[in-house]
Structure 1
């Protein structure tokens, strides 16, 4: 194919992506994705794909719900869901069978389950059930709602019952959520106070690249968020902040460093790939503070869910 024809193909694809973004309510950032003042770099051994090595767009499948399971860890077994009788295993099995139960999640009824470095007070206190993952907390995104103190025996029933309720409350633009459900009096529900979550794949057991890049990206993000008084670490639940955490394998390690963003106010969900430390400040300025402004060439996926009022 002649060079001119090849360039026309790329331009045509870029125009299609931009049209899809506009239809979803996303705005293309006019700012450079690289921050020239950032001196932090990955080690020379880390090789990040160049943008010329294929489009990132739609390299992740749409989904309607992500269940985040706090573990307080930064790495996990190769199959993070393999240990039978533990929350990750039970929730993962539930998700595979349950997506079609909830048409209110939208056309993308796939449910994603991730274990995370998020740490709850019970994990910090050494609670045996929580440490052994036979009881724990779940973060439901894009609802920004915590399910607290659920057991492996009850988790499937609790999720089956609470998700339709959350969908109904969201669609009715309710400013409150339920605190308890009758059948499970020990389980409570709590609204996350943060304006955004950022997740970085750190699953070193699956891919060494993630284990190297994620801590560097996290440190750089937290520096910039602290300057803005937006950084929230474990135990800091002041309203309006941003929490940066690790998750296990999300697919597409070759596109690392992967950055997944949830924005509470607008319901936007953004997946970025091929990110480097000098991209951190533009990500915060444009994606977080700019309410979801994006760079088409860096996008793996964008989704916009109905905003929540609570």
Structure 2
């Protein structure tokens, strides 16, 4: 990896050591696959020199709003009167409510819910679902008016469950009889930024990365398409702008069993198979030179 270093706690430490301190392992395998042939268009330019380590801020909760789309308005969560707007506003105002969580990230995604294609209210974004990571919990059939009280209640319950090491989740709330709580059965989620209306690089690179990853996950029997909830799979999806287009492709990974969150950057198609093998199958082995952020949360076995 070279001699990347950073001043930390008054001492100069090699990033390999920082990776180990955070509960991760440094991969001894190459980050590149020699047999992979896909490439990004040569017309795209990226920042290959900027310092990546901790180039994005830590967060404790990632709320993913399914839309079934692969691109969104410039401000993806900023359209007045929509479900995603209300969720985003809740996230912006709620970090202080849950000090155990800290910062809250809200994104929209290409993920779909079962009702999204048939229910007019979902299509008009009057109702919706959210996936809460790293908890691997779905909150479904929430109206715009219910967003604040439902998320207040569910997130508080999840925080309490983690704190008390409870191995079950509250699946219903009498005050919200229409809302459904479901535990997600996948072993991992992988997200690529595909927000073309914000930056062409992500709109071009994300589909190439996802295609490569889907092919390899199929070979391993881990691929899960829309509607396939067979336990133990890996779901790959697009999300909106998350910061750092110049570092494309950004890859955000959540591992259920270990509670690990990995954010890699400057990834290319020839990195896909090693990412699957090392980061997902081998549960969090990483390459320090590609890390923007790594976090390890207390895992919960629902």
Q: Where does the alignment leave 5 or more consecutive residues of structure 1 unmatched? A: 1-6
Residue 46 of structure 2 corresponds to: 48
Runs of 4+ in 1 over 3 A off after TM superposition: 10-16
Alignment of 1:78-97 (within 5 A): 78-97=74-93
Q: Mean Cα displacement is larger for which, 35-44 or 239-248?
A: 35-44
* Structure 2 residue runs without a partner (length 5+): none
The structure where helix makes up a greater share of residues is 1
Once the two structures are superposed, residues 174-215 of structure 1 have per-residue CA deviations (whole angstroms, 9 ceiling, x without a partner) of 222111112111001000010000000000000001110000
Please state whether the residue corresponding to 2:191 is helix, strand or coil.
Answer: strand
The 5 Å alignment of 1:26-105 reads 26-50=24-48, 53-105=49-101
Q: Is the 8 A contact 1:117 1:246 kept in 2?
A: yes
What value does the CA root-mean-square deviation take over the aligned residues?
A: 1.4
Looking at secondary structure, tell me which structure has more strand per residue: 2
In 2, Cα distance between equivalents of 1:187 and 1:11 = 48
Alpha-carbon contact 1:195-1:241 (below 8 Å) kept: yes
Q: Which residue, out of 22, 25, 30, partners 2:23?
A: 25
Superposed displacement of residue 12, structure 1: 6.0
What is the deviation of 1:11? 4.9
CA contact (8 A) 2:5 2:15 kept: no
* Offset of residue 22 of structure 1: 1.2
Q: Say yes or no: does 1:254 pair with 2:246.
A: yes
Task: State how many pairs are aligned.
Answer: 297
Structure 1, residues 273-298: CA drift from partner, whole Å, max 9, x if none?
00000000000000001110001110
- Aligned mates of 1:145, 1:227 — CA distance in 2: 27
Q: Which residue is 2:111 aligned to?
A: 118
Which of residues 175, 184, 209 in structure 2 aligns to 1:183? Answer: 175
Counterparts in 2 of 1:183 and 1:283: CA distance versus 1, 3 Å: same
Measure, in 2, the Cα distance between the counterparts of 1:192 and 1:160: 20
Once the two structures are TM-superposed, the CA of residue 172 in structure 1 deviates from its matched residue by 2.6
1:104/1:164 contact within 8 Å kept: no
